[in-house]
Amino acid sequence: MKIAVENLNSIPVEKQKIEIVERKGVGHPDSIADGLAESVSRALCREYLQNFGYILHHNTDECQIVGGQSQPQFGGGVIIEPAYILLVGRATAMFGEKRMPIRAIAVRAAHEYLEKNFRNLNADTDVIIDCKIWEGSQDLKSVYDPRRKLANDTSVGAGYAPLSETERLTLQMERYININLRSSHPELGEDVKVMSCRIENKIDITVAIAMVGKHIPDADHYISVKEEIAEDLLDFAKRFTDKDVSLAINTADDYEKGVYYLTVTGLSMENGDDGSVGRGNRINGLITPNRPVSMEAAAGKNPVTHVGKLYNITATRIANDVVKTYDVEEAYVKMLSQIGRPISDPLVVGISIVGGKVDSGVEEIVKEHLENIGKIKEEILAGKINVF
């Protein structure tokens, strides 16, 4: 393993003139695809462990959502065509003489995930769940050995620290809406997106919230909820920044034309909005154009040897430890695997420092995380790590 450390002569994100940050909430179609893919992988992991004692080869990171059709209205609405969910991937079905019902496991896990997370969605009637998960290719299955833990692919994981002020605000604002505000405002659906743009010392935030028609009797109620939520969110923003913050909610609304962001289920996938794994948040929960990130989707990849999951998590943890240990403004970490090489021995680990210096101790941070990379599996299965 090569560890390369360099000092970047660049402007820290906090000091750059323009910064853009996005967070897609749990109900966004891309996040739903991520959540379904991850729930299927975890269900397969549990079944493999229960039946064989270790996790067999699989990856379920290609879930697709095709939006349905609906007729929302004040006081109610109806689903015309259910959204179509396609579970795609590879999973070991035969092991020895025993055949695993991988597609039944996947469909059940997807159904349970929808029921648990979306309170206005009827998982029996509002969606169609299809499963096309098959056995993997022999060459990739031959690389996979849960005891040897060899990288399944030649790929890159990336992470950075710390989060900027705007990043923290964006991340926490969506969580605040979906966790805190929805408990007191049944009008709010789970499909929430927060887009923040900081220009010098001013932050403009655009929030999209799918409203649930059955809880909104008329336009006046809709407008009053929007105004109340906007005021609440501006107060919330003060917990994270002293900068001037402006905020707008559901900016496509046109009251004169009778256009409102109304839904039946609180999810935009009910009416033509599609979703795919990997098109949404990175493993830190954000989309950050100002930062280098890996394009590898973490959701649905197996937690034993799939570097697209393990290296993104590990790189972020290394970066966090670097900024905790040293007086630096930013740390960026890139990790390159090589297919067939032990996951604990990447081909290259690159560490880039902005605004400070590190010493040889940074290599010990890297080695410690790689020695413990096998423990990430337990954290994932215990639900302690969210990958989107």
Average of per-residue pLDDT across 281-299: 95
The answer to whether residue 138 scores a pLDDT higher than 90 is no
With respect to residue 198, please indicate whether it lies within any of the assigned structural domains. Answer: yes
With respect to residue 250, please indicate whether it lies within any of the assigned structural domains. Answer: yes
With respect to residue 214, please indicate whether it lies within any of the assigned structural domains. Answer: yes
Residues of the domain holding 208: 13-24+185-269
- CATH code of the domain containing 260: 3.30.300.340
Task: Specify the pLDDT at position 142.
Answer: 61
Beta-carbon neighbour count of residue 50 at 10 Å? 8
d(C-alpha 246, C-alpha 205), whole Å: 6
Q: Is 73 helix (H, G, I), strand (E, B) or coil?
A: strand
d(C-alpha 40, C-alpha 128), whole Å: 16
- 36-69: pLDDT as tens digits: 999 999 999 999 999 999 899 999 999 999 999 9
The answer to whether residue 135 scores a pLDDT higher than 90 is no
d(C-alpha 227, C-alpha 241), whole Å: 21
The answer to whether residue 332 scores a pLDDT higher than 60 is yes
Element (H, E) at 44: helix 29-52
With respect to residue 96, please indicate whether it lies within any of the assigned structural domains. Answer: no
Element (H, E) at 7: strand 2-7
Q: How many domains does the chain have?
A: 1
With respect to residue 317, please indicate whether it lies within any of the assigned structural domains. Answer: no
Place 97 in a pLDDT band, splitting at 50, 70 and 90: confident
Q: Are 149 and 305 in contact (CB under 8 A)?
A: yes
In angstroms, the Cα distances linking 153 to 96, 99, 204, 331, 338 are 25, 26, 40, 25, 6
With respect to residue 196, please indicate whether it lies within any of the assigned structural domains. Answer: yes
Place 304 in a pLDDT band, splitting at 50, 70 and 90: very high
